[in-house]
Amino acid sequence: MIFSEQNHPNQVKKGRIEVICGSMFSGKTEELIRRLKRAKFAKQRVEIFKPQIDNRHSEDEVVSHDLTSIRSTSIESSGSILLMSTDVDVVGIDEAQFFDDGLVEVCKRLANNGIRVIVAGLDMDFRCTPFGPMPALMAIADDVYKVHAICVRCGSLAYVSHRLVADEKQVLIGEMEEYEPICRECYNEVMK
């Protein structure tokens, strides 16, 4: 048998932070679910969390736009994640942009305790402004994976989730009726 870092018998459990980011309709949640299902298949103990504010599809599941789903726990604040993450190998967090800034410290503590943390969220809001704790999470992450939707106006890679309804609140939970993924050029054209 060949020993490598991956299968060494004295290997210490190593924590890490993985961030999946991008615009709406880019496949962030789908990628999160894929990674978490693989961890479960590998018989790892997995806990998944999402913010209570996001109840579009289900109260007790993370659901992607293509309706792939995985069981989750809805929580009000990031501090609850630490309380509910004992005896786990992997923690998944969806819609991270809706959590408080304490999520950054929570993720660091989990990773420092040997837990793999996989976070998915919007990197920018509809104004192209960094969104919630996502910029800080990307800065401390071991790995950042940016996914892209396709611009519904020209077919290029999408850059932002353009809001279609007149509402200036930063947080507006929505779907295709409220948002469309568009590229930088189309966004600049729309904003003229």
Q: Is 62 helix (H, G, I), strand (E, B) or coil?
A: strand
Specify the pLDDT at position 172: 52
Specify the pLDDT at position 1: 43
Provide the β-strand partners of residue 73. 49
At 177, give phi and psi (nearest 5°).
-70, -30
CA distance 56 to 70: 14
Specify the pLDDT at position 61: 60
User: Which entry of 95, 105, 177, 189 is annotated as an active-site residue?
Assistant: 95
> Does 58 score more than 90 pLDDT?
no
Nearest to 48 by CA among 61, 34, 38: 61
What mean pLDDT comes out for the span 150-176?
78
CA distance 105 to 137: 9
Give 26: exposed, middle or buried? Use CB within 10 Å, 0-12, 13-18, 19+.
Answer: buried
Q: How many other CB atoms sit within 10 Å of the CB of residue 150?
A: 15
Q: Which of 73-77, 97-101, 117-121 has the lowest mean pLDDT?
A: 73-77
| Homologous superfamily in CATH for domain 16-148 | P-loop containing nucleotide triphosphate hydrolases (3.40.50.300)
Give domain limits for the chain: 16-148
Of residues 21 and 9, more confidently modeled: 21
189 has catalytic annotation? no
Question: The whole model's pTM is what?
Answer: 0.85
